[in-house]
Structure 1
Amino acid sequence: HPHSPAGSIKPDSPAGRYLAEHGVDRKDFNSYGSRRGNHEVMIRGTFANIRLKNLLLKNPDGSVVEGGYTRNFLTGEQDTIYDASVAYQEAGIPLVILAGKEYGSGSSRDWAAKGTRLLGVRAVIAESFERIHRSNLIGMGVIPLQFPAGENAESLGLDGTETYDIAGIAAFSAGEHPKTLTVVATRADGTTTSFDAVVRIDTPGEADYYRNGGILQYVLRSLIA
């Protein structure tokens, strides 16, 4: 699923509200693509694809809600992905994405990983990754983890409502390069599922890239801008 739509900005979307609040006329809500330089707009567009299916949200008939929405676990309510992410960041809660095969395919590449990081995501656990998006995530300090061979969220009984603990990420800061990390998912009732995720930081160069990720320079640049 593309994460950063190149279509027009809808007035009722978080990006549209941001532009309106900043005095931009609706007729000037040109596409995200031409506003890629403005991270305040782009972050609100990450995961806003109308075809995005977030399995945390179901309609009354049991079908999955489509579009840039999620369940805000702090309130229990449906929220836009952007607004929920702001609430999580204010509460100091980093986020994990559970995904399927070829995660990141078709994304507006330069922005999808940046927007993901700015939304507070620190890890993506997927069945497999699109190659360039995987590399971009690493550069943004988001760790790409792969389910054990033959496993996925469904087979492990995970639905995304769990709290995730990923042990050993700090080893990278110490100059190590673990090949697997243990992920423990804790459900609301206290039961847990743990599995060894494959660290898709595949080379020493990528490990350096993750350690020093472009993120620090990126944050400094945006502070100076």
Structure 2
Amino acid sequence: MNFLASPPLVVAYALAGSLHTDLLSDPLAKDADGNDVYLRDLWPTEEEIREVVEANVRAEMFSDGYSNVFDGDQNWQGMHVPEGDAYAWSTDSTYIRKPPYFNGMTAEPTPVRDISGARVLALLGDSVTTDHISPAGTISPKSPAGQYLQAQGVAVKDFNSYGSRRGNHEVMIRGTFANVRLRNLLAPGTEGGVTRHLPDGEQMSIFDAAMRYQAEGTPLVVIAGAEYGSGSSRDWAAKGTTLLGVRAVIAVSYERIHRSNLVGMGVLPLQFVEGTTAESLGLTGEEVFTITGLADGDTLPERVTVTADDLEFDAIVRVDTPAEEAYFRHGGILPYVLRQLL
């Protein structure tokens, strides 16, 4: 069993042989005469500690030990370091690639627009966690991420994990919504990152569908149930969502941090009005969605109108604070911060 403790306590528990030992009242062991030995018998006094420190600790131990801390070993000294004020992105690296968050960014934010002609990338149920959304774990050779790495000349044995390649957005977006336990109701009977491209209905990976939609200029939405984004806060759950081309998520309810992260990446979180769900409204995910009420306002509205083919319903805008609204208007927190610096 692992635990965090001071080094003397680690030794004391080792002597006792059990973490269930109460070090304040239970003996650690017996001495040669069979007498109980307690932690208090072994624990040094402040005076004893002071004597040892004064007799053994010298300032030069630290000054000598840290005198060459920035020199590094031969491997470090032999590294080629590019010159210049900007990071030299490598086009060959499969671990760190220049992210696309600032591509096409203008000095001033573009006005917030309504969303028109959107398709559903995923129709999800309740309790979809960030583990379902965010890339995690090993990379399957048959997955879009695995196929990408093999196309880059990476052997399967060298795939490593999504976590180790989190600096490569090409890998990470291919792993978004790719959890093997994800169930997309738009592709019934499947499990994993599978969807249908509409209107032709061809079944394919969520990544491949998203790229086809992007090529067609089609914005995307995700529809979900209650507690969307619950679990640990994973930044790639929001990053991957926006890079796939998702403009809005419509859910019954959100986990607080993931909702905020979506706003921070420029994705609009919308919430069904209380008492309504995708199921109660009869949504199949095959509809064409239009979201109106966002454009031409000095502030974001409290509600917007969502049209799905012939169905029309209201949705609550879950951009909850003025700071979040500023991030959203800038297309996310990263363009917002860069514009503040400019």
In structure 2, the residue matched to 1:180 is 303
Contact 2:140 2:146 in 1 (8 A): yes
Which digits, 9 at most, give the CA deviation of each residue in 1:71-122, with x for residues without a partner?
0114321100000000000000000111001111236611011100011100
Matches within 5 A, 1:52-63: 52-58=182-188
1:85 to 210, 215, 218: 210
Q: Which has the larger radius of gyration?
A: 2
Distance across 2 between alignment mates of 1:164 and 1:96:
8
Structure 2: where are the runs of 5+ without partners? Answer: 1-127
Distance across 1 between alignment mates of 2:186 and 2:333:
29
Contact 1:4 1:107 in 2 (8 A): no
In structure 2, the residue matched to 1:165 is 290
Number of equivalences: 207
Structure 1: where are the runs of 5+ without partners? Answer: 59-63, 187-191, 221-225
Matches within 5 A, 1:1-225: 1=128, 2=131, 3-58=133-188, 64-106=189-231, 109-171=234-296, 174-186=297-309, 192-214=310-332, 217=335
Q: RMSD in angstroms over aligned alpha carbons?
A: 1.6
% same residue: 65
Amino acid at match of 2:311: T
Distance across 1 between alignment mates of 2:251 and 2:163:
26
Q: Structure 1's 95 and 214: CA in aligned 2 closer, same or farther, altered over 3 A?
A: same
Contact 2:183 2:191 in 1 (8 A): yes
Amino acid at match of 1:201: V
Runs of 4+ in 1 over 2 A off after TM superposition: 213-218
Contact 1:145 1:198 in 2 (8 A): yes
Distance across 2 between alignment mates of 1:74 and 1:18:
27
Relative to its length, the structure with more strand (as a share) is: 1
TM-score (norm 2): 0.58
Q: Structure 1's 38 and 55: CA in aligned 2 closer, same or farther, altered over 3 A?
A: same
Distance across 1 between alignment mates of 2:206 and 2:142:
14
Contact 1:4 1:108 in 2 (8 A): no
